[in-house]
């Protein structure tokens, strides 16, 4: 359906905000897509000796989790939008905003974990300078592992939600239907395996 037809149709709906809701979905999914692309760029090739090092494990886990979120279907209940009234479309768009926000939240958390692991990898490479790890590197490598642990522990739900709220507010986005942290976490628990 051409964009003009979508805009014209949404202007006639429910409380007058369905166009804003549809645009909000696009904004959230744009963030989601950008984060997914960044995670996909992280594909290190550790040696067999390094394969089970913690940072490499975190990166593999991040890539697998991001792929799983991308593959997860939207929990669609067609009975909610049957008939296509403005109010039904409003509820459907609100549900999409919650789902998109939950996915964006999850992928941001994964992305931050991946970034911490990449910093660990860069630090490790700087310490080793192409050599095999040995006792002479042990203290520095342990410090790199400790830094990774600290960075991973600093990735909190509140921090992620606050970062999104601040960025979205600075961008001037319409946030009226954005879900709370509690709603996002409940949605994730409800639809995760």
d(CA 96, CA 162): 21
Give one word for 192, left, alpha or beta, with left for phi > 0 and alpha for psi -120 to 50. Answer: beta
What digits encode the pLDDT tens for the residues 67-77?
999 999 887 66
Residue 134: which residues within 8 A CB-CB, separation 6 or more? none
Average pLDDT over every residue of 25-44 = 95
Alpha helical stretches, state H, 12-156: 18-41, 54-71, 86-128, 138-153
What digits encode the pLDDT tens for the residues 36-56?
999 999 988 899 999 999 999
Q: Who has greater pLDDT, 193 or 189?
A: 189
pLDDT score of 13 more than 50: no
Average pLDDT over every residue of 25-36 = 96
Binning pLDDT at 50, 70 and 90, where does residue 8 land? Answer: very low
Find which of 5-9, 47-51, 112-116 is predicted with most confidence, using mean pLDDT. Answer: 112-116
Please report the pLDDT score of residue 14 as a whole number. 55
SS3 category, 155: coil
- How is residue 179 written in tokens? 């879900």
Q: Model pTM?
A: 0.86
What digits encode the pLDDT tens for the residues 135-158?
999 999 999 999 999 999 999 999
d(CA 168, CA 155): 19
d(CA 169, CA 172): 5
Please report the pLDDT score of residue 191 as a whole number. 83
Nearest to residue 100, comparing CAs of 13, 191, 1, 169? 191
Q: Who has greater pLDDT, 85 or 45?
A: 45
The angle formed by the CA atoms of residues 31, 37 and 40, to the nearest 5 degrees, is 140
Please report the pLDDT score of residue 86 as a whole number. 81
Q: Mean pLDDT across the chain, nearest whole number?
A: 89
Please report the pLDDT score of residue 29 as a whole number. 96
């Amino acid at each position: 359906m051409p964009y003009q037809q979508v805009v014209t149709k949404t202007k006639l709906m429910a409380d007058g905000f369905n166009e804003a809701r549809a645009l909000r979905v696009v904004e959230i999914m744009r963030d989601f897509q950008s984060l997914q692309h960044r995670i996909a760029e992280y594909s290190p090739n550790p040696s067999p000796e390094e394969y089970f090092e913690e940072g490499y494990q975190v990166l593999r886990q991040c890539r697998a989790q991001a792929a799983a979120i991308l593959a997860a279907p939207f929990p669609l209940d067609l009975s909610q939008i049957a008939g296509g009234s403005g109010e039904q479309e409003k509820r459907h768009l609100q549900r999409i905003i919650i789902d998109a926000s939950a996915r964006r939240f999850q992928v941001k958390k994964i992305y931050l974990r991946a970034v911490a692991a990449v910093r660990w990898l860069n630090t490790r490479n700087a310490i080793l300078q192409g050599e095999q790890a040995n006792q002479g590197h042990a203290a520095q490598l342990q410090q790199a592992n400790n830094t990774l642990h600290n960075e991973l522990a600093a990735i909190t739900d509140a921090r992620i939600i606050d970062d999104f709220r601040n960025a979205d507010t600075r961008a001037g986005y319409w946030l009226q239907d954005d879900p709370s942290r509690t709603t996002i976490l409940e949605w994730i628990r409800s639809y995760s395996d």
